[in-house]
Structures are given as C-alpha cells and as structure tokens.
Amino acid sequence: MAALLATLLLPQSGLAGQRGVPVEVVPAFGGPATTFVVSFITPARTGVIGSIRLRDLLTATHVSAGPGCVAQISMPVPDARRSQRVRVRLDPKSLGGNWCAGIYHGKVVELQSAVCPPGTACPTYVRLVGTVARFSLTVRAAPAEGDHVPPTFAGIAHAFACTPGPQRPGETTPYTLSWQAASDKVTPVAQIVYDIYFANTSGGEDFARPTWTTPPGATSFRTPGLPSHGDAYFVVRARDAAGNEDTNTHEQKGIDPCV
C-alpha cells in the first residue's frame, strides 16, 4: 500500500484539511502491549459509489521511535454509512511487535480510486480527497519489572433491556450491561477498560475481536440497538494499561422483563 501511494497519489483537492471530526481513543493511554481502539463518526459514506471507490485509511507515526518497536501504523477503516461510528482496533502484536514509548501522531484520510466494469480500460490512480480526522496515542514505558498479570475481574453481572409494548419485526432494543469494577496491581481502577463480546448464540463470542470497548473506569455500558426478537449473549473482560486482559468466560444472556 505504501508503494502504491508513493507512485500514484495525486495532489490534494480543495477539500483536504477542511474536515475534522472528533476521535475517541480507548484507552486514553497505555503500555507497550496495549490494544487501542480508535473510533469516530464518519462524515461521508465510504465504499463503491458509481464509478469511484472511496475508502478511509488510518495512519500514525512515532517521530522518535527506537529499534525493535512499531514506528508506523497503516490500517484500513471499514466502509460505513454517513454518520455511522466506525472502530479500528490497533493491536501492536498484529503490527509486528510492541509500541514505542511516547506519542504517536495519527490521522484518518479519505482516498478515491476508480471502479470500472470487467474487461474495460480503467484509470489507475489514488487521489487524496482530504483529512477526515486527527488523533494521538500516548504510550507509557513498561515498569522495569514488566507487568504481565491481567486484572482480577468477576465478569459481567447483569444484561437487560426494556422493550415496552408489542414487539414488531425489525425492532431493535439497546441492552444495558453492568459489572463490579476489576482490580489490578499496577493499573488504577479508573484506568481499566472493558472489552465486550456479543454473540447471538451461547458460547459464540469471538474473543479475538471485541464487539465494543468501554471508556476507562466504566462499570456499565449501553449497547447499540440489537434485534428485539433475537437472543443476545455477552461476555465482558477487563484489560489493564499494559494490555493484559483477563480470560473469564462468564456469559450473561440478555433479558427483557418489559416484554
């Protein structure tokens, strides 16, 4: 991708730099092994639109990176509708190592390329439409002895929704999840984040990728609307600032006492 951009990137249009949507980075800071989640509300639809393809790309750079750590990030952003919240999970292990201590300066840019019917001549280009958002990641150096112990956490306690009146096909309902705060020997309680895993069937959670991640210190979470006629199962895991996550599999089925 880097080589492609270097050879085919066209000059910025007049829109470049005019966008700047708020970005949420969770956790606000972490350690060398922390998995960060960067999220924002998309200002425009991305994907194939007629004869063009619009996509967002997240990049970040550590200006004074040392040897043996991840100095640069380049991650595609999932296609989305306008005004949809999208999330990009930044796991340093998947990028080849651990984070460098210090600050990464990042941005999300929108790129345009051509889409042509099979068998037709197609222009080959990548055009920078503009900068969608800017953000930063703060990484703290690991303690000298290292922190490899995950938080102590009992898991999710409650998962409930309230759908008043008769349920109609296609109706959605948010669930409210809650738990007791985890504890950790290094990370303060207010800095522990919680990864939430959702599944439609019991035991179907994908622990390789959380469905949602809370802000630091949260002990409850309200999900987006989920199908009212379907089953909902949740597992919540605690993660400290060094990226250590507990491995509990305590599952809670969502209930709706208002039905």
pTM of the entire structure?
Answer: 0.56
Q: Which residue in 48, 50, 58, 51 sits closest to 80, CA to CA?
A: 48
User: Do 10 and 118 fall within a single domain?
Assistant: yes
User: Do 15 and 84 fall within a single domain?
Assistant: yes
Structural domain span for residue 88: 2-139
Position 119 confidence tier, pLDDT thresholds 50, 70, 90: confident
Q: What is the CATH number of the domain that holds 165?
A: 2.60.40
Asked if 75 and 108 count as a contact pair (C-beta separation under 8 A), the reply is: no
User: Do 34 and 94 fall within a single domain?
Assistant: yes
Long-range Cβ contact pairs of 162-169 (< 8 A, separation 24 or more): 162/256, 162/257, 162/258, 163/228, 163/256, 163/258, 163/259, 164/258, 167/228, 167/229, 167/259, 169/229
Q: What is the CATH number of the domain that holds 61?
A: 2.60.40.10
Q: End of a domain among 84, 113, 139?
A: 139
Q: Is residue 206 part of a domain?
A: yes
Q: Is residue 7 part of a domain?
A: yes
Q: End of a domain among 83, 111, 139?
A: 139
Residue-wise pLDDT for 31-64, tens only, equals 888 889 999 999 999 999 988 999 999 999 987 7
Q: Is residue 224 part of a domain?
A: yes
Residue-wise pLDDT for 198-230, tens only, equals 999 999 998 888 999 998 899 999 999 998 778
Q: Is residue 146 part of a domain?
A: no
User: Is pLDDT above 90 for 96?
Assistant: no
Q: Is residue 150 part of a domain?
A: no
- Higher-pLDDT residue of 194 and 16 is 194
Res 243: pLDDT: 83
- Mean of the per-residue pLDDT values of the chain: 85
Q: Is residue 13 part of a domain?
A: yes
User: Do 160 and 243 fall within a single domain?
Assistant: yes
Q: End of a domain among 86, 106, 139?
A: 139
Sheet holding 85-90, edge to edge: 23-26, 36-41, 85-90
User: Do 126 and 232 fall within a single domain?
Assistant: no
Residue-wise pLDDT for 98-115, tens only, equals 898 888 999 999 999 999
Number of domains in the chain: 2
User: Do 30 and 121 fall within a single domain?
Assistant: yes
